[in-house]
Structure 1
Amino acid sequence: MLFLNRCLLAAAVVALLALLCAPVSASVIGIDYGAEWFKVSIVKTGVPLELVLNRESKRKTNALMTFNKGVRHFGSDAVALNGRFPKQTYPALKRLLGQICDSNVAEGYSHEFPVVLKKDAVRGTCLALDEQGNEYSVEELVGMQLAHAKEQAVLYGQESVSGAVITVPPYFNQFERQAILDAAELAKLNVLSLINDETAVAINYGMLRRFENGPEYHIFYDMGAGNTVASLIKFSNETIKVSKYKNKHIIQVEVVATAFDTTLGGQSIDAKIQKDLAEKFTDLNKGKLKGTAFDDPRAMAKFRKEANRIKHILSANTETYASIEGVMEDRDFKVLYTRKELEALSADLVDRVLLPINEVLEKANATMDKINSLVLVGGGVRVPFVQQVLYKSIDESKIVKNVNQDEAAVLGAGFWAATLSKQFKVLEISVKDINTFPIEVVYSPEPKGDKKRPAFHTTVFSNTTLLGAEKIFNFKRQSNFDFELAYKGSGVVIAQGSIGGIDEFVEKHKDQQIQESKIKLGMRLDSNGIVSIKEARGYFDIHNGPKGLFDSLKDGIQSVLGATKDDESGELPGDDVKTADGAANETEAGTLDSEKKFTTEKANLTVAIQWKTLVPLSVEEKTKSRSRLSEMDAEDARRKAREEARNQLETYIYSSKELLWDDDAEAVTTEEQRETLKQRLEEKSDWLDDEAEKAETSAFVKQKREIEDLRGPIDFRRSELRGRDEAVKGLRAVIENSLALAQNVSERENKLPDPSDRLFSVEEMEKITKNVQDAELWLNTKLEEQSKLKSYETPVLQIAEIQRKSRDVSGEVTPLLLRRPKPKKTTSAKKKTEESPKTEEADKTKEGEGATKTKAEEEETTKPTAGDSTSESSSRATNKDHPVKKEL
């Protein structure tokens, strides 16, 4: 009940999308793209946030696809084909995003699934090969799935999609995040933002609640199919001053810390059960098989599917049977499987369940007693041994399941998409998410003589830096130089940059003394978690006079001691950090310092970036991929159109055969007409048997049209026969009622003593009556003509004409119902009093009878009651107390 109430509140919160939003022509969606499933939520005009149902009316779709004879199959269709074509079925593609093909992740994927992978010679990523030898990048395959998700939303919402928010794990690095952005681009999906999974869940959690008693801290423990994540998130109500007299109250969601295990999830349990089933099958058939189940990809795919089913059943039951028909070599397999066996099999995973929770508390320097609750999310938390570990180690009162474990992330993503799109007015939530992996700048100092100086490592974005941060990094250089962006402590280089233009500037001013130089490099960590270089600018202090004694001594000391402290620091001063509140403080170029006698000149420098480790898709590769995917989409559309045309023809033939046995159809046809249609249907049935497999779409349409030419007139005459009497009855009723109304109005008008009070002139009434009588005459004439026709002839009295005539008659008498007399002018009360002294006497008489009310009594009668919902004060109180209306 609590969950239901919160769902209703969520619907109420987002229902303002329909009430307060401006008209738009496109919807926005949220996509929760997981290793095993993907889900889609949608927000559109007039419809609150809701989940998209797929073709099977299910709320989630299997995240895998299969190639079969060049045709792509998604979701449940791919699952059905997986057992037959395991090498052409690609599950859990999310794990390969942003991975080098030589990595442990890619090798583990190849060992777990029998797909054929090949290393891209240029990028080093994995290429998947289909049965025909075609190569597809992981971005292309994921792009196909995202395009399929978008198509589901378009079909469900019946309008185009203008933007999307896609969930990603918080541990996704630069390469993985860029890969999914590239995949979305190939899918022609406008990504408003990526959002971390648990942040999306927190948004869904926060939009259902109010935090009136101060900040709350909750850990969201999410065990999905491929990973486990724990995020500590702070919720609070914040007040923002909008103007001098107005404040705005918003809900703030702030990620404090995040920890994760990238290999602990539902699929790791599936893999253990799969292996155990394969071993049991091999033992049961020892000496009877030509090979082992581990060498048969189809057998392993069947075991994998059965393992997932067993895991779900044992979450609620203590035992079940594993049963597979035709595992390999025409041998079936059936064995009892118990929960104890599953727990023993997963014993090595037990110790890893609590690690993300302990780590996130350590990062936040917090203890569990300071946490309001541990919110369980994801399908993996339903596994009994996972729940046993959690309930044994953590106070049970703190463990809650007050969010939809499967759908909270996708609903939060959809809400965030509506917020970012600016198309809808939604409950305002502020989100502060943090960077996961520290990023540093690595560079060598300015050369000073022959002495080799070590490279500097300076952190630019730490693991507490908010996403969306912009920073300006200072270098004190007087020559071109290179630098690297890398993940701190990992040795993984993101990109290598080269700053040019410094040598040219120094050469240009070689006759002048450059007193000091400062190279500013702008960097940004956007909301997607992608780091980028914005620009580089140089500021050089040019000396305006002869070199003085002090300057000469200073240069001499520096040449002996080497670089100054400033040269070696490379740190980002506080003044040079650009935030959302304003730009960094920088010296204006071209200014003159009278005391130091130098001018500061600005130089526009060049920055060349070369991506390292994993190179994103190039513009040329994206263009080529989009072209190939467009061709596949067009081919899919042609194939679907052909299948639909074939199905329509088959359905039309069957229904036409049934029509020949219909009594009404027999009544409106001759024996010859029915025989002609019967022969035509037999011809088309034979054509389907002989030509359907190789026929084009246009051929199916043509065959159906030839049947329609014969059947169409029969359908028309039958529908006319069935509905004509009822339509005539309706028109007669309208005519009779209209004539009666006209007669009543005429009698009323004729009785008026003053002709000027008439609403209708005599001519108008005569015209209305005549038009109604003409309609009656038309009906009688048509009925007489129709009675002379045979039932198999085209009728002259048709239902459409009868209905149109009925509307015309109704339109004629409408003024009789709507026209009202004009109000007469009234004289003032004062004039009435002077001209009618009897009124005063009547008042005195009433007063004597005690009929006059006192002023207090009159006020009492006009005073609103406590339950009067129409009173202004009551309305204000109601709106004030309602949480949703108050927020609006």
Structure 2
Amino acid sequence: ANLAAIVGEEKLAKNVNGDEAAVMGAVFRAASLSRQFKVKEVRLKDISPFPIEVKYTGEAKDASTPGKPFLTSIFNERSVLGTRKIMSFKRITDFGFDLQYGEVSAAHGAELSNQEIAHVSLTGLTEAINKFKDVSVATPKVKVTIELSESGILSVQEAIATIETDSSKKASLADKVKSFFGGSEKNEDVKEAEPRETDEEQGTAEAAKEQEKVAEEAKENKTAEAATNNTETSAKNETVPTTQTEKIVLKIQTDYKGIVPLTTIGKKDSLAKIQRLDALDAAKRAQEEARNSLESFLYRGRELLYRDEIMEVSTKEERENLSENLSTISDWLEENEDAETAEFQTRLKDLRKIERPLSIRAAERVSRPKAFASLRSSVTMARAVGEQLLTGEGAFHDSADVQKLYDACDEVLAWITEMEAAQAELPLWKDGVVSTREIQLRGNPVEREMHRLMSKKKPKVVKKEKEANATETKEEEKEKEETEKAGPKGDKETTEEEQQQGKAGEAAGEEEAEPAKHKKDEL
């Protein structure tokens, strides 16, 4: 938007060429797959360039008649990867089928040396059919799930057989087994009650009536139970048929015809090979880095010999020595580009031993005066802070504490003066009497003393003024009370001197009375 406002909308090209389109597409695709970026969704789908078919033979009607062959296309040409298809088979025995590539165009035909992919065998169906043959009410169905993964790998995920069974038949079989073991229900008849026998030949009228009543009740019970038994029998004979679905997971055996997946041993061998290749790549990378480092140092060393700052801090012999070694190693490198990594590293180390003193002198010549000036400024500032702590407003440090800081500052300043004088006497091609790092560390004693003084806590101040003010306030309140007790105007007023004289007289009287009291006690 900002660029369009400057140059104009019509001057901005919004199209990309073929190379740019490929690169931008890859960038946006990678950004969309990553969770770290939020970009406009790029919907890309990988496809399979070849169709995939299933070849199988139908169920044979008898042993003498073979099954009819079938060929079904499950994935068409240019099908999207990452999809699943489910095929249904009506079978009663174990079976198998072939996965293969379908007919392709002439352009793709040359790429397929073998159209067969795999042969799949399903087992466990015959055993399941035999188990449920007495209760099965329909031809079993086998559903096979075939997946074409995101990587273009074809595989059979699962195979499930579905059998419809009659649950009422299961109950009748259970009843048969139960009756075989004597567990069926029995219908027991109720016998009629016989007349009671008495010892007396002549029965009374009440005894006769009682016998008739018992006989009628027994007859009614027999009729009712017989009707109940008939109802239960008819209900058992008229059981409503109900269906139940049984699902059996079949075993899958895949025999690949084309590219065979790796076995466990093959995977281990492949992993070991990858590790060996990684080690070779790492060694090659280290060799290239060592050779490049040596080559770049040769170019930098030749340039270093002609720089003014190096010529000022080095002798002619040192420069010639470095130049000869650079030439010798350069000639060796041209003849040994594929030398071992250790050889490159050794020669680079030898060159740096010769070059390093020259570079250090040049760098120290620039940084040493700056380090001296910085240290002197820091020490001067620390001394000023010490004076402020000793004489400033609210100062609580004693002179002994601050004197330690002064001593450290004086010692460092004297050392700076001494080192500067010694360094000035040395020629430039000699190593310095002190390095920049040593100068920086020399200020540590001053820094420690400063930290000690600044960390000291201010002592607590006794609140004397506040107590004095409180005493004066109490005396004023007492005088006010005595004035109020003296009464209104016209009465005798007492001056402050009279009050003080009276207090003095009372004190004298008390002193006189005290000795008298002691004498009395002695008597």
TM-score interval for Structure 1 and Structure 2 normalised by the shorter chain: 0.5 to 0.7
**Distance 1:506-1:706 versus aligned 2 partners, 3 A rule:** same
Instruction: Name the CA distance, whole Å, in 2 between partners of 1:686 and 1:502.
Output: 79
> If you compute each CA radius of gyration, which structure gives the higher value, 1 or 2?
2
Q: Is the counterpart of residue 534 in structure 1 residue 173 in structure 2?
A: no
In the alignment, what sits opposite 2:88?
Answer: 474
In the alignment, what sits opposite 2:28?
Answer: 412
Q: Is the counterpart of residue 724 in structure 1 residue 337 in structure 2?
A: no
In the alignment, what sits opposite 1:705?
Answer: 349
Q: Is the counterpart of residue 426 in structure 1 residue 63 in structure 2?
A: no
- Higher mean C-alpha deviation, range 735-744 or range 540-549: 540-549
**Distance 1:488-1:681 versus aligned 2 partners, 3 A rule:** closer
Instruction: Name the CA distance, whole Å, in 2 between partners of 1:615 and 1:702.
Output: 49
Match of 2:125 among 492, 502, 505: 502
Instruction: Name the CA distance, whole Å, in 1 between partners of 2:46 and 2:318.
Output: 77
Question: Does the CA contact (< 8 Å) of 2:314 and 2:429 recur in 1?
Answer: yes
* 1:762-801 to 2 correspondences below 5 Å: 771-787=408-424, 789=426, 791-801=428-438
Could you list the per-position Cα deviations for residues 413-443 of structure 1 after superposition, in whole angstroms to 9, with x for gaps in the alignment? 1122214xxxx36368595958677755443
* 1:143-154 to 2 correspondences below 5 Å: none
Instruction: Name the CA distance, whole Å, in 2 between partners of 1:474 and 1:774.
Output: 99
CA shift for structure 1 position 480: 1.4
SS of structure 2 residue aligned to 1:405: helix
Instruction: Name the CA distance, whole Å, in 1 between partners of 2:353 and 2:86.
Output: 75
Instruction: Name the CA distance, whole Å, in 2 between partners of 1:487 and 1:720.
Output: 77
Q: Larger % of strand: which?
A: 1
Match of 1:751 among 393, 407, 419: 393
Question: Does the CA contact (< 8 Å) of 1:439 and 1:487 recur in 2?
Answer: yes
Q: Which one-letter code corresponds to 1:410 in the other structure?
A: A
Could you list the per-position Cα deviations for residues 786-807 of structure 1 after superposition, in whole angstroms to 9, with x for gaps in the alignment? 4565544443321123344568
Q: Is the counterpart of residue 521 in structure 1 residue 163 in structure 2?
A: no
* 1:293-308 to 2 correspondences below 5 Å: none
CA shift for structure 1 position 546: 6.5
**Distance 1:764-1:597 versus aligned 2 partners, 3 A rule:** farther
* 1:369-388 to 2 correspondences below 5 Å: 379=18
CA shift for structure 1 position 676: 4.2
Q: Which one-letter code corresponds to 1:692 in the other structure?
A: N
Q: Is the counterpart of residue 645 in structure 1 residue 290 in structure 2?
A: yes
CA shift for structure 1 position 719: 1.9
Q: Which one-letter code corresponds to 2:433 in the other structure?
A: V
* 1:659-738 to 2 correspondences below 5 Å: 659-688=304-333, 692-693=336-337, 695-738=339-382
Instruction: Name the CA distance, whole Å, in 1 between partners of 2:72 and 2:456.
Output: 85
Which ranges in structure 1 are unaligned for 5 or more consecutive residues? 6-374, 381-403, 550-593, 822-888
SS of structure 2 residue aligned to 1:448: coil
Question: Does the CA contact (< 8 Å) of 2:91 and 2:141 recur in 1?
Answer: yes
**Distance 1:410-1:782 versus aligned 2 partners, 3 A rule:** same
Q: Larger % of helix: which?
A: 2
Could you list the per-position Cα deviations for residues 681-732 of structure 1 after superposition, in whole angstroms to 9, with x for gaps in the alignment? 454345446x525632222222222222233223222321232112222333
Instruction: Name the CA distance, whole Å, in 2 between partners of 1:376 and 1:765.
Output: 76
Question: Does the CA contact (< 8 Å) of 1:376 and 1:405 recur in 2?
Answer: no
CA shift for structure 1 position 608: 2.1
SS of structure 1 residue aligned to 2:343: helix
Q: Which one-letter code corresponds to 2:91 in the other structure?
A: R
SS of structure 2 residue aligned to 1:482: strand
In the alignment, what sits opposite 2:482?
Answer: none
CA shift for structure 1 position 521: 2.3
Percent of pairs with identical residues: 26
* 1:437-448 to 2 correspondences below 5 Å: 441-448=54-61
Instruction: Name the CA distance, whole Å, in 2 between partners of 1:694 and 1:469.
Output: 51
Instruction: Name the CA distance, whole Å, in 1 between partners of 2:398 and 2:76.
Output: 88
CA shift for structure 1 position 496: 3.3
Question: Does the CA contact (< 8 Å) of 1:432 and 1:466 recur in 2?
Answer: no
**Distance 1:787-1:462 versus aligned 2 partners, 3 A rule:** same
Could you list the per-position Cα deviations for residues 103-123 of structure 1 after superposition, in whole angstroms to 9, with x for gaps in the alignment? xxxxxxxxxxxxxxxxxxxxx
SS of structure 2 residue aligned to 1:720: helix
Q: Which one-letter code corresponds to 1:418 in the other structure?
A: S
Q: Which one-letter code corresponds to 2:359 in the other structure?
A: D
**Distance 1:819-1:455 versus aligned 2 partners, 3 A rule:** farther
Question: Does the CA contact (< 8 Å) of 1:786 and 1:795 recur in 2?
Answer: yes
Could you list the per-position Cα deviations for residues 369-414 of structure 1 after superposition, in whole angstroms to 9, with x for gaps in the alignment? xxxxxx987629xxxxxxxxxxxxxxxxxxxxxxx63433112211
Instruction: Name the CA distance, whole Å, in 2 between partners of 1:770 and 1:459.
Output: 99
Question: Does the CA contact (< 8 Å) of 1:512 and 1:543 recur in 2?
Answer: no
Q: Which one-letter code corresponds to 1:499 in the other structure?
A: L
* 1:115-194 to 2 correspondences below 5 Å: none
Q: Which one-letter code corresponds to 2:26 in the other structure?
A: V
In the alignment, what sits opposite 1:802?
Answer: 439
Question: Does the CA contact (< 8 Å) of 2:51 and 2:104 recur in 1?
Answer: no
* 1:557-596 to 2 correspondences below 5 Å: 596=241
Question: Does the CA contact (< 8 Å) of 1:523 and 1:531 recur in 2?
Answer: yes
SS of structure 2 residue aligned to 1:414: helix
Instruction: Name the CA distance, whole Å, in 1 between partners of 2:313 and 2:91.
Output: 97
Instruction: Name the CA distance, whole Å, in 2 between partners of 1:818 and 1:791.
Output: 44
Instruction: Name the CA distance, whole Å, in 1 between partners of 2:81 and 2:320.
Output: 75
**Distance 1:504-1:685 versus aligned 2 partners, 3 A rule:** same
| Cα RMSD for the two superposed structures | 5.1
SS of structure 1 residue aligned to 2:259: coil
Instruction: Name the CA distance, whole Å, in 2 between partners of 1:687 and 1:657.
Output: 16
Q: Which one-letter code corresponds to 1:609 in the other structure?
A: T
**Distance 1:533-1:767 versus aligned 2 partners, 3 A rule:** farther
**Distance 1:3-1:680 versus aligned 2 partners, 3 A rule:** closer
Question: Does the CA contact (< 8 Å) of 1:734 and 1:810 recur in 2?
Answer: no
Instruction: Name the CA distance, whole Å, in 2 between partners of 1:818 and 1:486.
Output: 86
Instruction: Name the CA distance, whole Å, in 2 between partners of 1:433 and 1:675.
Output: 67
Could you list the per-position Cα deviations for residues 759-798 of structure 1 after superposition, in whole angstroms to 9, with x for gaps in the alignment? x787776555555555434433443454565544443321
